[in-house]
């Protein structure tokens, strides 16, 4: 370790004192001058920086997870409405406690959580929900499942998050809610989104599916809007294969979420409304509860490792870490996202850069190839009978015409990320190797002309 590295204590102290972004930028760079000597890139036959490419497995399995599953299996209580072990109810209490939310309803996936919230808020055919095109398909699926219209606003190219100005521009008399996505597990510009929602009297459903335990101005993501949704799908930082959760502080709304997710049947046993059956099963909750030990340590480690990478990347202009907004205290670091700027690497294209890095033993992902505004669902869905019935031809035409998101296209072209929950749990030494490999390719960029 170099003397400039952050200890965990320093990191937490800095994070507690203010914004993570500010704390990181105040750090004196330990690598202010790139001292790495010229050496042959591994792509051209040189020695790779990382000889051992292994990274922590994700998801992991240990005895605690196995014991928790076995306990549920033997209990015979395999469904939340049976008596007995109550893994789902315990999980809901634990997740509410960790996030500081008053209430939690567990579901079978992040998509199910989002759809439950859309239904619970009474959003349906004819209504519009503004969200991001740079996200998992589950985000818009939750809106389409209610036969509402997902209106995609464009991004900020430095944060990869929704641009609040473009969100506001797309509000009209049919808009009922904003579904901001906390992309890469970092807070979006939630201050601005909340201000816009308040001004236009809109509901806010936070898509925090990637953002477990991320924090903005002392509040965990998911607790800032009317409701917040999480995914526990295999790749996420808390994982059970498929699973999800809704959190919120409004008891009536959260009761409505329970009713909707329970095929329209309330906690009192009255079948009251339209609702799918989206209950989490006891085994999914058991896997998650088995993962509870160490969840905060893993969160802290990801943040420490990310802070180190961010510090090292300061001197490497071809890879710019995701911009964090004022007030960011911690991210989930489900993903460590960067944008690639070829103008700082002799105009070498991203694919070649990633190949050179891969040869050094560091694999970065370009992530989503294109935004959801470029997927075929737009044409297909707008042609369906329900959309043709519920929306006028003029509205659908306008929707199609305004679906361009050029900033999102740019983000897709520039993205280079460390994917996903496993790598950022690696040791500090691995982070040093990753940064060294990036630095090596940057310092020796002239060799790539001939590649």
Ligand X SMILES: *Cc1c(COP(=O)(O)O)cnc(C)c1O
Name the residues that contact ligand X, by CB under 6 A.
Answer: 109-111, 135-136, 138-139, 181, 207, 209-210, 231, 233, 244
Instruction: Find how far residue 154's CA is from the centre of its chain.
Output: 17
Task: Report the residue number, 142 or 447, with the smaller CB distance to ligand X.
Answer: 142
Smallest separation, CB 375 to ligand X (Å): 15
Q: At what angle do helices 295-313 and 428-443 cross, to 10 degrees?
A: 20
Smallest separation, CB 184 to ligand X (Å): 9
Task: Report the residue number, 149 or 313, with the smaller CB distance to ligand X.
Answer: 149
Task: Report the residue number, 143 or 396, with the smaller CB distance to ligand X.
Answer: 143
Contact predicate 193/130, CB 8 Å: no
Smallest separation, CB 346 to ligand X (Å): 34
DSSP state of 183: G
Task: Report the residue number, 180 or 290, with the smaller CB distance to ligand X.
Answer: 180
At 351 the three-state DSSP class reads helix
Smallest separation, CB 425 to ligand X (Å): 18
Task: Report the residue number, 6 or 232, with the smaller CB distance to ligand X.
Answer: 232
Smallest separation, CB 337 to ligand X (Å): 12
Q: Give strand ranges (E) for 84-226.
A: 103-107, 128-131, 149-152, 175-179, 203-207, 215-216, 219-220
Smallest separation, CB 101 to ligand X (Å): 18
CA–CA gap between residue 400 and residue 420 (Å, rounded)? 33
Task: Read off the tokens for 29.
Answer: 């760079």
Smallest separation, CB 234 to ligand X (Å): 9
CA–CA gap between residue 144 and residue 224 (Å, rounded)? 24
For residue 404, the number of C-alpha atoms closer than 13 Å in the C-beta half-sphere is 3
Task: Report the residue number, 135 or 328, with the smaller CB distance to ligand X.
Answer: 135
CA–CA gap between residue 60 and residue 75 (Å, rounded)? 24
Peptide bond into 59 cis (omega under 30): yes
Contact predicate 418/294, CB 8 Å: no
Task: Report the residue number, 257 or 313, with the smaller CB distance to ligand X.
Answer: 257
Task: Report the residue number, 233 or 305, with the smaller CB distance to ligand X.
Answer: 233
CA–CA gap between residue 20 and residue 328 (Å, rounded)? 5
Element (H, E) at 126: none
Smallest separation, CB 298 to ligand X (Å): 18
Name the phi and psi angles at 31, rounded to 5.
Answer: -120, 45
Measuring CA to CA, how many Å separate 196 from each of 117, 132, 160?
A: 20, 15, 19
Contact predicate 154/163, CB 8 Å: yes
Smallest separation, CB 424 to ligand X (Å): 16
Task: Report the residue number, 186 or 444, with the smaller CB distance to ligand X.
Answer: 186
Smallest separation, CB 288 to ligand X (Å): 13
Q: Which residue is nearest to ligand X (CB)?
A: 110
Sequence-distant (≥ 6) Cβ neighbours of residue 342 within 8 angstroms: 318, 348, 349, 350, 353
Q: Using alpha carbons only, how large is the chain's radius of gyration in Å?
A: 23
Task: Read off the tokens for 28.
Answer: 């004196």
Beta partners for residue 215, in sequence order: 220, 330
Task: Report the residue number, 138 or 423, with the smaller CB distance to ligand X.
Answer: 138
């Amino acid at each position: 370790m170099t003397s400039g590295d952050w200890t965990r204590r320093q990191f937490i102290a800095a994070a507690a004192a203010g914004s993570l972004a500010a704390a990181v930028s105040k750090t004196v760079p330990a690598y202010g001058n790139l001292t790495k000597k010229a050496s042959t890139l591994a792509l051209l036959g040189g020695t790779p920086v990382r000889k051992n490419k292994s990274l922590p497995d994700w998801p992991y399995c240990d005895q605690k997870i196995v014991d928790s599953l076995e306990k549920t299996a033997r209990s015979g209580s395999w469904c939340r409405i049976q008596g007995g072990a109550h893994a789902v109810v315990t999980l809901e209490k634990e997740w509410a406690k960790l996030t500081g939310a008053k209430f939690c309803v567990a579901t079978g996936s992040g998509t199910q959580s989002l759809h439950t919230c859309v239904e619970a808020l009474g959003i349906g055919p004819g209504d519009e929900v503004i969200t991001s095109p740079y996200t998992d398909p589950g985000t818009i699926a939750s809106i389409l499942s209610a036969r509402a219209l997902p209106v995609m606003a464009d991004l900020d190219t430095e944060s990869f998050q929704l641009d609040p100005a473009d969100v506001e521009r797309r509000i009209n008399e049919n808009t009922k809610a904003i579904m901001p996505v906390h992309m890469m597990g970092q807070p979006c510009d939630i201050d601005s989104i909340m201000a816009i929602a308040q001004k236009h009297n809109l509901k806010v459903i936070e898509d925090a599916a990637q953002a477990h335990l991320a924090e903005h101005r002392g509040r965990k993501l998911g607790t800032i809007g009317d409701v917040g949704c999480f995914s526990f799908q295999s790749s996420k930082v808390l994982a059970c294969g498929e699973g999800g959760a809704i959190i919120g502080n409004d008891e009536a709304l959260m009761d409505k979420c329970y009713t909707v997710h329970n095929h329209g049947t309330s906690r009192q046993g009255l079948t009251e409304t339209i609702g799918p059956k989206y209950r989490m099963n006891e085994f999914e909750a058991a896997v998650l509860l088995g993962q509870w030990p160490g969840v905060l340590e893993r969160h802290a480690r990801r943040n420490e490792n990310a802070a180190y990478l961010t510090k090292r990347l300061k001197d490497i202009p071809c890879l710019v870490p995701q911009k964090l907004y004022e007030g960011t205290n911690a991210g989930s670091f489900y993903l460590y996202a960067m944008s690639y700027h070829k103008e700082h690497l002799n105009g070498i294209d991203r694919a070649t850069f990633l190949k050179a890095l891969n040869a050094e033993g560091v694999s970065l992902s370009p992530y989503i190839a294109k935004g959801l505004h470029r997927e075929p669902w737009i044409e297909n869905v707008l042609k369906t009978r329900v959309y043709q019935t519920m929306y006028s031809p003029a509205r659908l035409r306008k929707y199609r015409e305004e679906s361009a998101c050029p900033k999102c296209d740019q983000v897709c072209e520039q993205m280079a990320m460390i994917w996903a929950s496993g790598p950022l749990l690696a040791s500090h030494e691995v982070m040093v190797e990753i940064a060294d490999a990036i630095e090596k390719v940057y310092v020796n960029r002239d060799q790539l002309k001939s590649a």
